[in-house]
Amino acid sequence: MASRKQTIYHIFSTFAVGGPQRRFAMLAREMPDYHHVISAMDNQYEAEFLLQGHCSYQCHPVSIQKSGGFSVSNIKHLREQMQELSPDILCTYNWGSIEAVIANGGQVSGKALVPHLHFEDGFGPDESPAKQNWKRVLARRLFLRNTQVVVPSRVLENLATRKWGLPAPRIKYMPNGVSLERFQPVEGSGDDRLAIGTLGALRAEKNIARLIRAYQQADIADKARLVIAGDGPDRPHLEALVKEHGLQGDVTFSGHTDKPEEVYAGFDLFALSSDTEQMPIALLEAMASGLPVVATDVGDVASMVSSENTPYVLQKSDEAGFARALATLVGNREVRLEVGRHNRQQVAEHFSQEQMTNQYKVLFRQILSGSL
């Protein structure tokens, strides 16, 4: 008789496609001994396609009423779900799952209902490392102090100990990783005009508008076009901005993709123009694909890229510098290829999927054994 798979219950704020969901899918594929139960606080499960046919899982809708604070009925319902499912490990993700953290208990006595890992991956447009909601700071300090908290960036690691006041031994720095087999260098777009590309959710904090303005300011439309891959609520605004600047023939919105590796294969240069990130998986995928990067200096981005790429990581306020960096790389093929080669090597040495998976396998074993 086959032995029972150990169950991990994952509670996300949303299971729409994003960095935490993509990382979870990568790990779930590589750890077949676990059965995964997934709940989303908004009952959105668009990222389910990342799991289909690759691992043992189920989506488990919850009866949650969205509120501006903490809802007693939400907390009660979530605790009942945990008791009913009786998982071996509970994983909660980001601020949107804080009611599940409370439901599991353990914040005062340390005696949680289920062994628990909490993941913090970054912030929406209303927060940043420098701009913290004081109520959330206090709530994290109270409700996470006896929990193992996993962060993918050094910026978040420092924030968790210095600002949130969490005990340093409770913080686990676990950098993201990507597959070097799936994402491989190619020759680029092969078109007469190079392809400057970006990929991600089109949300306000990604500030794709900055990239569109910088592309126009760089005055490189005769040499390069701009490809924006992904979808999201900001798309209508961005399409209007492209039309406003008369760039309809130069900027393409390619929409959602299930095969990002094919998208990167069509890029010659990757751009990341976010206001806030921590350790973006899209950046690692682009680097593994052998692409040079122009990016804003947010989160761990400057330390993620190779030293050859760091001159092209600019302050958020330096839109003119961003434009110059685009123009420089578009105009120099040898530099593009050299920087891209070093970026792939950086991923191979520090941010491979194998390295990430091995770290998580150890972490889950430690949680199950009670050694953490």
Domain boundary assignment for the chain? 6-177+352-369, 194-350
Mean pLDDT (the chain) is 93
- Lowest mean pLDDT across 115-129, 225-239, 326-340: 115-129
Closest CA to 59 of 110, 16, 122: 16
Q: What is the mean pLDDT of residues 252-272?
A: 95
Alpha helices in 181-300 (DSSP H): 208-218, 235-244, 260-265, 281-288
CATH class of 6-177+352-369: alpha beta
User: How many beta carbons lie within 10 A of that of residue 53, not counting itself?
Assistant: 6
Contacts 24+ apart (CB under 8 A), 48-56: 48/15, 49/258, 50/17, 50/21, 50/22, 50/25, 51/25, 54/25, 54/28, 54/29, 55/28, 55/29, 55/31, 56/5, 56/32
Cα–Cα distance between 104 and 31 in angstroms, integer?
A: 24
Amino acid at the residue 60: H
Whether the per-residue pLDDT at 316 is higher than 50: the answer is: yes
Amino acid at 12: F
pTM listed for this prediction = 0.88
User: Quick one: pLDDT at residue 352?
Assistant: 96
Amino acid at 99: E
- Give the Cα separation of 20 and 23 in Å (integer): 5
pLDDT of amino acid 1: 40
Asked if the model's pLDDT at residue 2 lies above 60, the reply is no
User: Rounded CA gap, 244 and 316, in Å?
Assistant: 23
Percent of the chain residues past pLDDT 90, beyond the cut: 85
Tell me the pLDDT band of 108, cut-offs 50, 70 and 90: low
Instruction: List pLDDT tens digits, range 240-249.
Output: 999 999 999 9
> Domain 194-350: which topology?
Rossmann fold (3.40.50)
Q: Are 281 and 19 in contact (CB under 8 A)?
A: yes
